[in-house]
Structure 1
C-alpha cells in the first residue's frame, strides 16, 4: 500500500515537472529548425536572383509583344478611319451619279432596276456599270474597291486587337509570377541588412575609363545612371532593369538593341567576342540569359543588378566570372 502511494506521488511529480517544463520551454522549440546562416541566405538569394532575372526577361518580352501588337492595332485603326472616310466619299459620289442617271432616264429600261426606284439598289447591279458613262462607271468601281479595302482593314484590325489582348493576358500572368518571386527576394534581402532604395534623381558618376567612340557614348550614359534604383520592367529615366539600361545606353551610342536580354543575345549572334578579349562597351550575359551588364574596362562592369539595389559598378571577379555565358560587341 505504501509503495503504491509512493508510486502515485512519483507519477504526479513527474507530470508536474513535465507541465513546468512545457511552460518554461517555448512552444515548438524542441522541433524548431536552426536559423539559416548568412552564407545560406546569400546562397538561396543568389539562386532566387537567377530565377527572378529569367522571369523578368519573360515579363519584358510579353510587355514588348503587347506594346508592339497595340501599336499595330492603333496604326490599323487610323488607316481604317481614313478608309471609311474615303469609302463614304465614293459612296456619296456614286449615289449622286446613280440618282442623276435614274432621273435622266438612262437606266430606266435596264432589267431589274425599276423595282422600288432605289438608286442605291441600282449600284448593286453589275449591269449598271455597262450603261453608265465611263466616268460614272469609274466612280462606282472606285467605291466598290474602297469597300473591299475597308473590309480587309477591318479584318486586319480585329486580328491585331485579338493579338494585343492575348499579349496583355500573357503580360498579366508574367507580372503576377514576377511579383511573387520578388516578394520572396525582398524577404531574404532584409535578412541580410537594409535595402538600398536608390535615388531616382541620382546625378550618377563620370566615366573615366578607356572607351572611345560609340562605346564611350554608351558608357557615359550608363555611368550617369549610377545610384538610380533597379525596377523590373524599368526603361528609365528614373529606374532601370538590366536590359533596359543596356538598350538605352547603346541607343546613345547609335545602336538600336532589342528590349530583352534574350533578344539582345540573339541579336548579337554574329557579334560575339571571347571573354578574354573584352573591350569597353561589350555586353556581358549571364548563363540562362536572365541578366546583362556592360563591360567598362579595367575588369569592371556597370549594370542594374536586382530589386533592392541600384545601378552600380562591380568588378568581374567580385561578380563571379563563372556566372557569364559570353559577350557581344554592339
Structure 2
C-alpha cells in the first residue's frame, strides 16, 4: 500500500547524525551498523578510493590525528563538520580520489549510510532537521544532498520544532512558552516557542555557529592536558611552532572528547594513551598520557563556554521583553547538556523548569 505520509526523520548533524521511524505513533531510532543510536557525521576515503562513513571513518581520522604527532604533518582523507559549509563554494580535497568533494556530496554520503540502517524497506522520503538560523542557500543545499543520496521527497523541519515535538509527545502541557537549548557538538542554538493547543511556533532564535562540544574538548586540552605535558615532557619547541601546536592540540582532543562525555556522569576519568600512539617531544622522548581528570577540573574549564550559551539565552529573552519566570519549559538538546554543570547554571540563571 502506498504511503500518504512520511515515516522517517533524520537529524543530519554537524558532529553526529541519526535516523528514526514512526512505528504505531512512536518514534523508533534505527540502530547503526554497530548498534548505536547515533553515527559520527564523518566521511573518509582510503587509498583504493573506497568511501567509508560513520564510526569507521571517525576512527580512521582519530588515528591520523595521533599519527601526525610523529611527523608533525597532518594529511588526511577524512572529513568532518562539512555541514558548516553547506551552501558555499568550499570544497574538500581528496588526494586518493584525485578530486575535491562538495559539502553536499559529503552530506549525501552520510544520508546514504543512514538509509542503509533500515533493513526491511527502501527509504525514499524523509523529514530532515535543519538549524533555525539556516539560510535559504543552506536549506537548498540540504535538499540537494538528499537528492544526491537518492531521496525522492524530503521536507525540512527546524531543529527547535523537532525537539519540541519530541518533548510534546511525553508531556501533558500543550500551552505556554518554551525555550529550546540546543548545545551540539559544533553549534549552539536557542529558540523561543509559543505553544497553543499543542501547536508550536518558533517566534525568535539566537545562536553561535562556532560554540559547541568541540570548544569544551579544546578547553580541556589547553587547561589540563597541555600543562600536564609541559610538566612531564619538553614541548616548548613544539608549542612555539603554530602548525605543530595545532597538530598536538588536535591529537589531544581525541582523548578529551571521551573524558568530557564521561565526566557528565562520573567524578573522575583516567586518560591513558597506548604505547606508540603518539610521537616524541623536543628531546626525542616518546609522549605518553597517564593522568586523571576530575569533574571539578573539567567543570572549571567548561564553565566559560556554557556561560556563553546561557548569556545568549538571556539576550534572547531580553530582546522579547521576557524573563525566565515566564518560561513553562526549558528543553535541553545535545550531548553536552547531560552535564550537571550546565543544568545547574540554567536553573540558577534562567528558570528552574529545566527538562
What's the TM-score bracket when you normalise by the shorter of the two chains? under 0.3
Which one has the bigger helix percentage?
1
User: Which structure has the larger Rg over C-alpha atoms?
Assistant: 1
How does the TM-score come out when normalised to structure 2?
0.24
